[in-house]
Each structure stands twice: as C-alpha cells, then as structure tokens.
Amino acid sequence: MSSAQIPDLVDQIRRRAEESGIRQIIGIVGAPGAGKSTLADLIGAQLGPQNCAVVPMDGFHLANAVIEGTPLQSRKGAIDTFDVGGYLSLLARLRANDEPVVYAPSYRRGLEEPLAASIAVPQSTMFVLTEGNYLLADEQPWNRIRGLLDETWFIDRGRDARIAQLIGRHMEFGMDAARAAEWANGSDEVNARLVESTRERADHVIRL
C-alpha cells in the first residue's frame, strides 16, 4: 500500500493500458461521504468519456420493494443490503470484455433506487472505474471482488468532512436536519467503521 497523488495514479493506469492493450478496472473505495463518486467522475473526465466508464457499486442496492418492512430498511447501505452476486457477475463480464457492450445499473439518489441498464460500457472502453464502500471487504463472497480489479484506491477523508458531506446530501434528498444528522452519525458511521477496517488492503491511499 502506498500514499499516492491522483495525477500520478492516472498517468500509471494510462501507461499500463497503452503498454498492455488490456482494459484497466480500478476500484475506488472509501467510507460514506469520502468523495468516491466525485473522484471517479473527475478521473473519468480526465481519461475521456469515450475511453472511460464509471460503474458504481450503488447500482446493486437492493430495491426498496425488497427491504421495506424488513430489518434491512433501517440499515440501507449496510453490506447486506446489496446484491453482491449481481455486482460480481457484472465485474466478471467487464473483465472478460468479450461482448460488444455491457450495460450496468446506476443509482438515482432522488428515487433512492437502482436503475437497471443505465450505463453502457462498449467493448472499446479501456478504463472502468468502479466505486463503492465494500470493494475490499474480506467476507465471502465480497473477497472475490479484488481479484477482478487491476488496482484499488482508498480515499482517506477526515470524519468531520465526511459527516458534513453526508448531512448535506441527506437534506438535499428530503431529510430534515435532525434526521439527516441522525442517519449520518448512526447507520452511515457504522458502515464507515467497516470500510475503514479494509483500508490496509488497498494498493494506494489518496488523502483528501
């Protein structure tokens, strides 16, 4: 594991793709509110939309219809509220790169639901950035994810900044201030502790 600067990492994966001619799949990992989506979109813009696709793990949230009325509803975002089998299958297809196009799901915050087949990844796409909380989890079958990625980058961001980001996000999508703070300091923070425990397994750490 090394501490790294973003421009250096981008240059490295560009060079590796050019030299090998093989698609590079990079996992961006971090606790809730760390800035995973923002960083993935930034790097994707640098690599170019014709060359890079951003595929979020959040597209594999279990639908609200599945978790409503169950204990999972109050823990949405926890590791057991995702379809890890579906995510692994998608990564395997992206890794094989033997289809003209692979369609991946996204996650719509306003709906709080995954949206199927909303991201197209053509066979010519040389870079795939996949971001999520649990890419480095060591429990089965999550521990199979790492073998489908070329590298993992862990975002290290201070707790106060993360919490502020989460509260703002929750309020933007309909929670009042009290409920947003409760969720950010409660369910989100429980998930954050699990994610932080996987930090040492990352190839590189990016400090924001």
* Least confident span in 58-72, 137-151, 164-178: 164-178
Q: Which residues pair with 128 in a beta bridge?
A: 25, 53
Cβ(13)–Cβ(150) below 8 Å: yes
Q: Report the C-alpha gap between 188 and 76 in whole angstroms.
A: 9
d(CA 65, CA 124): 36
Cα 47 from Cα 137, distance rounded (Å):
28
Q: Tens digit of pLDDT for each residue in 81-134?
A: 999 999 999 999 999 999 999 999 999 988 889 999 999 999 999 999 999 999
Domains defined for the chain, CATH in brackets:
2-207 (3.40.50.300)
Strands (E), the chain: 2-3, 24-29, 52-56, 101-108, 113-122, 127-132, 151-156, 204-207
> From CA 207, how far away is CA 154, in angstroms rounded?
8
